[in-house]
Chain A
Amino acid sequence: MPENIIEFKNITKRFGGTTALDQVSFTAKKGEVTGLIGENGAGKSTLIKICGGVIEPNEGQVFYEGEEIKIESPRMAEKLGISIVHQELPICENMTVAQNIFLGPDIPGGKIFPDKKFMHKRTKELFSRLNIEIPVNKLVSKCSLGQKQMIIIAKSLARDANFVLMDEPTTALSPDEIDVLYDVLQRLTEEGISVLFVSHRLNEVIKVSDRICALKDGKYVGDISKDEATEDKLASMMVGRDVETISKKASVAKEDKILEVKNLNQEKIGLKDISFNLKKGEVLGFAGLQGAGRSELARTLIGNFKLDSGEIYLKGEKVDINSPKKAIEYGIGYLPEDRGNLGLFKKLDVKTNLCIANIDNLSNYYMVNNKKIRETTNKFKDQLDIKLRSISQNIDSLSGGNQQKVLLARWLSLQPEILILDEPTRGIDVGTKNEIRKLIIDLVEKGYSIIMISSEMTELLSIADRILVMSRGHITGEFTREEATEEKIMKAAVQETLL
């Protein structure tokens, strides 16, 4: 029996002028969890897509279970027993949860009709194994991003695969869900199934992987076993130098409340009686499990969802924010978590994507000022280290992390007084995460105020001055940085409603 589930020999993949993979030789061992790390744009997703038959390499050989093979299509990959969680979470929003789980060439059932009962039953089983509480009949378009991610993970487990590849499966998950995922991966390897696991959360990678491989700029760097691995070592492997981590900063928050929310209710999405305030120069963190309602709260604040009752005060004055446009006029910006659906203009180029929210300021009268647009874009390209060939490149051809950086830059360039960041470092590599933290510190020092919604506890603990915890549409806890610990936050996050 071959020892490797998959082996790449001198694989090269070019996209136009970009070499995404450069003579990469790489193996994943049978029955093991192989971790794969690398900076944004290093080529991780490209490698996975080759395994999935989504793209074909320009050069090199692929061996699957010891045999040379050309994986020509996702259908073929499926037949080979390869199952993938793609980074961009492709999902049919127009269909139900259960339908998505079983979407594929072979839908369970007879020759003509699907077996709905079986599908529902199996989905429920899968969900209980993964500790997911989503009605199987729910339309996916009504699910939150975290739920979508869980659905796709469940989908990859629903088929009897030999090889499961997960491209950043944890970016929208909260700690307890990640724990469940650990258990599942453990069980898979016990059953002899091989796993490839990509993540930018290095502690995670160390925890789940038996062996960790790194890519840098499309080249294979090497591998390291679980026992040898430390976060610092991994970071320097993928970045090529040592990475300093930003430690906690001193609070620069003033006492003036720039934003005050009183008794906010939004029945349809389940926000109940929410009151809090944000001080000038403060970083206010929001923690909670997925589906707690943090994203919905943010979108209600900026007028994207209408609130049923409640008051919002800006610098002591009551305001009526009924649209995101109004919010921007009031100096509130919102970076959404759902990159694909709420952020990207996939048909447009990088510079337009970056400058669109700020287009009024980058114009002379009615005409767009291309020079200013280029300058702004280049400034953020350098500052956030966005990997791209040209700023006129289509945003769709950037790697996931780099897309996220462009969106982040969209809001940074606008410099709103209050910036709401919803999972801002989703899919961003360690090096840049530090850059972003620096930027945030820089911003608050200049007097900007920031609300940061994050499922990554360490991030919140290191940067927030104060942390609010939400559970099922309520605020269930408030901690200053000094009091906050992971345990306390988790406890508040799982707390059922008080009233």
Chain B
Amino acid sequence: NSTEVAAQEDLEFTLLAHSSAIAFWRPVQQGMEDAAEQLGVSVNFTGPAQMDHGQQVAMIENQISAGVDGIGTTITDPSAYNNIVQEALDEGIPVVAFNADAEGNPRMAYIGQAPDTAGAAMGERIAELVGEGGSIVFLNEDPGHTDLEARTRGAQEVLDEYNISYESIDTTTDLSTAVSTIMDYYSGNPDIDGWFGVSATATEAAGLAVEQLDLAGEVYAGGFDLTPTTLEAIQDGYAQFTMDQHPYLQGYYTVHALYLYHKYAIDPVDIDTGGGIVDQSNVNDVIDLSADGYR
């Protein structure tokens, strides 16, 4: 591998995220920008506004022809990104996956959380809350989104062990519709023990629905990702927990990995950023940091 040590100042990386127009990516971008500033490289953040593999692959293709020095991308499909990543590598452009990964993809490393383990962790937490034999519903804002499906499946496996019954409903990505959907579901299923989002908007809606229905303490809510609405809900006791995957690190380490590859020919290595849970006990520590875009 004959990477030159020189001219790091000119290094330019691009990070691509699926459905890039949502709030989730703000800490990722923050971490990415902080790293870029520290290292003196330039980075772009882009991606299709809504998940679309064809379009994201095309964007990677364009980055290759634009000749960037490194690519970070989310990989949200088992095989759609295999060829294009290989193409980049063949051109000598390092590729690191962040946030979402697929087995068998030739990318050099994955920096992020494993969705099924994160799902399993959430399952454990749910089981703790509702206890053996309860019934809950998963809130999926984007049915067919691999990561969300994987989280759901991870959690379901755990719930099966505890004999907790579950269903999964479509809340849509619209917050207001999502809240209404949950409220309606509750009207039809008043015996439910809790509802849990598998991504940001659905989780926000979970807390808001508890608030609107005035069910704090009767029905549990929780889910994924740190957004102000969710954190406030945890603070106020409408929601119990949210799974943290440290998105800041996903941006930060990805830039570092690409940089170190160029500077010292260090091949990128996998980094697990997952595992954190935010609940009543630590919500006050993170809420301001989240508002500033670090958590």
A/B touching: CB–CB < 8 A: no
